[in-house]
Structure 1
Amino acid sequence: MKLLTSLQFKYVFNQSKKIKCKELTILYRTNTLKFSRLGISISRKNIKYSYKRNQIKRIIRESFRLIQYKLINADFIVVVSTLSINIDRQLLSKKLEYLWSHHYQ
């Protein structure tokens, strides 16, 4: 499931906990639903080319899909920094796996 509306994003941004590495920050806040939801925030200012932003989004969504059943019931927002532009796909996946591991049930 995705976070879709600005109200859902504000809910997480206002009172969230965070965990981060150089390239990524994961903000999260528990929810009352029986599943986790994902939101992705990539600024056009930070990553200029749309194909690169889309590639990073696909990697994030895929990593979330693979471990979604292990996660706590929470709303997650992945914030991508400028440093992510030069990172390769496998390393980005490893970083995400490390960050997700902090949120297992």
Structure 2
Amino acid sequence: MNSYTFPRELRLLTPKNFQNVFSNPVRASTPQITLLAVPNKSEHPRLGLTVAKKQIKLACRRNRVKRLIRESFRQHQHDLPAVDIVAICKKDMQNMDNEQIHKMVTKLWRKLSRRCNG
């Protein structure tokens, strides 16, 4: 039975983890968000989020975007290969509703999986 939790092991926590992803990533993007991924040594994917205050001014909107991306990752974690992923959000994302964000991110998970698996 698959577990759909989002424990600490599924998160990128240190600056070194983020730096690894930025070094030579596989990309999947839309005008609103970019996903960067590199293979990792564990057997599960890990997620890191960057939502800059410069891009999305209000904290409540930044938190909403992060919450939606984390929730989508939690639901799709078993479909993803063992990669470290960093999601970089852009300004246009704050004007999208929850359903649009969910559909867009779901499509990007699939695109990223295809690109990382070959």
TM-score, normalization: structure 1? 0.97
**Structure 1 unaligned blocks of 5 or more:** none
**Structure 2 unaligned blocks of 5 or more:** 1-9
Q: 2:22 aligns with which of 8, 13, 25?
A: 13
Are 1:44 and 2:53 counterparts?
yes
Q: What amino acid sits opposite 1:38 in the alignment?
A: L
Tell me the CA shift for residue 17 of structure 1.
Answer: 1.3
**For each residue in 1:14-60, what CA deviation from the matched residue of structure 2 results, as whole angstroms up to 9, or x when unmatched?**
11111101111000001111110000011001100000000000000
2:44 match: 35
The two structures, once aligned, show a CA RMSD in angstroms of 0.9
| SS at structure 1 position matched to 2:41 | coil
Aligned residue-pair number: 105
Q: What amino acid sits opposite 2:21 in the alignment?
A: V
Q: 1:97 aligns with which of 90, 97, 106?
A: 106
1:79 match: 88
TM-score, normalization: structure 2? 0.86
Q: Distance in 1 between matches of 2:66 and 2:78?
A: 20
Q: Distance in 2 between matches of 1:15 and 1:101?
A: 20
